[in-house]
Amino acid sequence: MTNQLSLQQRIQMAFPGLAAAYSVDGLLHYRVEKSRIPELTQFLHEKARGRLALLFAVDCRPLAEKYEIQYLFAFASDHPWVLLTIELAGQDRLFTSITPSVHAAQWYEREIRDLYGLIPQGHPDLRRLVRHEHWPKGTHPLQKAFPWNKTIGRQQADYRFRHIEGEGVFEVPVGPIHAGIIEPGHFRFSVAGEPIMQLEVRHFWKHRGIEKLFEQQTLSTAIALAERVSGDTTIGHSLAYCQAAETLLHIDVPRRARYLRSLFLELERLHNHLGDVGAICNDTAYALAHAHCSRMKELLLQLNDRLTGSRFLRGAMAIGGVTKDVSAIELSEIVALLDGIEKDFAELESIIFANASLTDRLETTGVLTERTGWDHGVVGVVGRASGIDQDVRRDRPFAAYDEVPVNISLYRYGDVRARLRVRMDEIHESIRLIREIRANIPQGPVAPAAAHRPQPGQWALSAVEGWRGEILYFVMTGEQGSIHRCKVRDPSFVNWPAIQWAVVGNILPDFPLINKSFNLSYAGNDL
């Protein structure tokens, strides 16, 4: 409690008279005048070293005639989250942009403008982000008055890309349609020769209205939708949603179920990291490593299928627990399989690190500095490869991570090799964690006994460290157990803007390698 008070006292000393409207273990909530938000957020970011983890709006109708904008800041593990709330009452649509001082707010504020029609005054870039130019003017789909199943007409307009003028400067557009099965994303490079002078990312071609669809669900029926936010992160997203719903329903998850949740989450991390290690090597034409990683990944996907009936672990999560218990025999089989995979992977690691030409391609390529990463609020593998020491499993333990502690892999070079090394270390750590889970898992039920119905307007925040990084869910209840608002933030949403800085100064042929080392989700970003 001392550390919580120390942060609270710092805020009160800097802003006399500002008191927390709500305080629970792990979170401080302040309702503030909207005119104070720029100085308060700048203080939290620069003086208190807080990371802007989430920024979103809520249309409070029909409960109240207003909009709310929520600013969530994350701090070191010995400090609570800080949530700031401002209100735009009646017909008020204006709020002050914090992007000039907190760069991580840039996409969030553009998203709010597109989806709600609220205007961040002073924002340096008010081009459309989510609503591409074919959307009619004045169409803001997350307003409560906008029907979820409305069909809208199309209009014709052009997106204004940034241009660098000068002799010998060329633009190279890539996408949004790509070869193979990659999802749609547009990358526009400004180059002088081969070195990249500027990259502009243009996404949201895959926007599916996920957050609007959540509003058509009840707390108990939305798990299947959460599983499909990003297909390679079934457990990460469904677990984050379930934790928020469990808080609202006052459900205590049985201890054995918490262990199984950690087991499934680490299995998801394992097969994705193995795939990424192989894919990074493949982008340097090192097919041998790619082939072996693909073989090991396939063994894990088959294991997932045997355990849950799904190669991607769909259907494993339930509000209050899990749908599938894992027997002692199955746990032994899992560990035996992982013992063999770890032996093979360790041998492959030694071959990879002995390859001088591979090292030459990876080192100093796609460097994301710690300062740039911090300014943009990057998370997960990308952040830890750039020296940003954060992992929700350790910092704010969930599932069984309070009983099975995690060792964090941290590098400071911020290049492709560092991102490869983080993944390799986390493969070994996930295998170690699964052995610990098998050794310590308790007996007992895997589903809860009862639940309570929350009142309309109650909300809960949930964080999970998925294999890409921190996943956040903010869930607010409506009437009769419905969902009034579900804000989803995949780690890709905060990491995509940072890749635009990591590629500057590199040659154009290295972009696929840099992009693969970030390996961000289009679907998870676009929602």
Measured CA angle at 38 (ends 37, 43), to 5 deg: 95
In angstroms, the CA 349 to CA 338 distance is 16
In the prediction, which pLDDT does 2 show?
45
- Identify the pLDDT of residue 101: 94
CATH, domain range 2-121? 3.30.460.80
- Could you tell me the residue ranges of all domains in the chain? 2-121, 210-526
β 186-192/51-59 pair status:
unpaired
Measured in degrees and rounded to the nearest 5, phi and psi for residue 514 equal -65, -45
- Strand-pairing partners, residue 28, are 23, 82
pLDDT of residue 25: 63
pLDDT in tens, 385-438: 999 999 999 999 999 999 999 999 999 999 999 999 999 999 999 999 999 999
Helix (H), strand (E), coil (C) string for 479-509: HHHEEEEEEEECHHHHHHHHHHHHCCCCEHH
Question: Could you give the CA distance from residue 413 to residue 417 in angstroms, rounded to a whole number?
Answer: 8
Predicted local confidence at residue 5, as pLDDT? 56
Q: What is the mean pLDDT of residues 14-24?
A: 78
Write down the mean pLDDT value for the chain. 93
- pLDDT for the residue 473: 97
* Bridge partners for 73 per DSSP: 52, 82
**pLDDT over threshold 60, residue 251:** yes
Question: DSSP characters for 55-110?
Answer: EEEEE-TTTSSEEEEEEEEE--TTS-EEEEEEEEETT--EEE--TTT-GGGHHHHH
Tokens representing residue 219 in the block: 């707390």
Tokens of 104: 């991580």
What pLDDT is attached to residue 304? 97
Whether pTM > 0.85 for this model: the answer is yes
336 vs 448, which has greater pLDDT? 336
* pLDDT tens digits for range 479-494: 888 999 999 999 999 9
CA distance linking residue 51 with residue 72, whole number of Å: 8
Q: What is the pLDDT of residue 23?
A: 65
Reported as a single tens digit per residue, the pLDDT across 61-80 is 988 899 999 999 999 877 88
Q: Which of 274, 467, 498, 272 is nearest to 366 (CA)?
A: 498
Q: What is the DSSP string of 404-427?
A: S--PPP--SS-SHHHHHHHHHHHH
pLDDT digits (tens, 9 = 90+) for 145-156: 999 998 888 888
Say how far apart CA 96 and CA 206 lie, in whole Å: 29
Ordered DSSP codes for 446-483? SS-S---PPPTT-EEEEEEE-SSSEEEEEEEE-GGGBE
Residue 59: pLDDT band (50, 70, 90) is: very high
Handedness of CA 271, 273, 279, 282 (dihedral sign): negative
Decide: 133 and 159 in contact? Cβ < 8 Å: yes
Residue with tokens 């390859």: 355
CB of 386 within 8 A of CB of 469? no
The CATH superfamily label for domain 210-526 reads: Cytochrome-c3 Hydrogenase, chain B (1.10.645.10)
Q: Render pLDDT for 185-225 as a digit per residue (tens, 0 to 9).
A: 999 999 998 899 999 999 999 899 999 999 999 999 999 99
pLDDT digits (tens, 9 = 90+) for 96-112: 999 999 999 999 999 99
| Residue 475 binned pLDDT confidence (cut-offs 50, 70, 90) | very high
